[in-house]
Amino acid sequence: MSLTPRRKQPEKVRRDLLDAAARIATRAGVQTVTVEAVSAEAGVTKGAFFHHFPSKQALVAAVFHDLIDRLDAYLADAIAADPLPHGRFTRAYIHAVTEPDAGGSDGLWIAVYFATLSNAELRDGWRDWLAGRLADHAEDGPDIALQTARFAADGIWLGMISGSGPAPDDLARLRAHLLALTLPPSQ
């Protein structure tokens, strides 16, 4: 690990491009994510961009999968740390979606929205991913209370990224309430 920086470091450039795209989407909105803007933000030229990605679409897909992977890792950890089986997945999902910096860097979730909603192909990818996770935790699927809690988390997330979300202390109350909803019926 030499201190003299490697002059060519393709992996880092590729990573920088991915991060730059997410950062720009977070900072200035979806429509400002252009190939040139991403390249400039990463400190590189368009030529380099198209060396690493065959198209802008490919970059978007890469950002998407990158975040999906992060989300998967977060969920797996949270589920493993949860001693109560019932509603595990839903609780982890609530945390991941509701805490802005759950997946790593802050606000990166806006990029998920950007990738997901603005593109039909990735929209299907998101749907399939969610269906897959629900299949992995089949017991969380049909339960109507858990379903409701997950949709409420989605709604809160939508509010957060669209600026009409709850105030911070309201958010904490809501999260606690949603988590309470995931507990088994107190029969």
Q: Which does 174 bind (CB under 5 to 8 A by kind): DNA, its own copies, none?
A: its own copies
Q: Are 146 and 87 in contact (CB under 8 A)?
A: yes
CA distance 99 to 101: 6
Among 106, 126, 119, 122, smallest CA distance to 26 is for: 106
Q: Which does 2 bind (CB under 5 to 8 A by kind): DNA, its own copies, none?
A: none
Candidates 31-39, 79-87, 103-111, 170-178 — which segment interacts with DNA by CB under 7 A? 31-39
Q: Which does 18 bind (CB under 5 to 8 A by kind): DNA, its own copies, none?
A: none
Q: Which does 40 bind (CB under 5 to 8 A by kind): DNA, its own copies, none?
A: none
Q: Are 84 and 139 in contact (CB under 8 A)?
A: no
Q: Least distance in Å: CB of 169 to DNA?
A: 38
Using CB under 7 A as the binding rule, whether residue 162 contacts DNA is answered as no
CA distance 179 to 32: 36
CA 157 to chain centre: 11
Among 59, 55, 58, smallest CA distance to 42 is for: 59
Binding site for its own copies (CB under 8 A): 29-31, 113, 116-118, 120, 123-124, 126-127, 130-131, 144-145, 147-159, 161-164, 166, 170, 173-174, 177-178, 181
71/122 with CB nearer DNA: 122
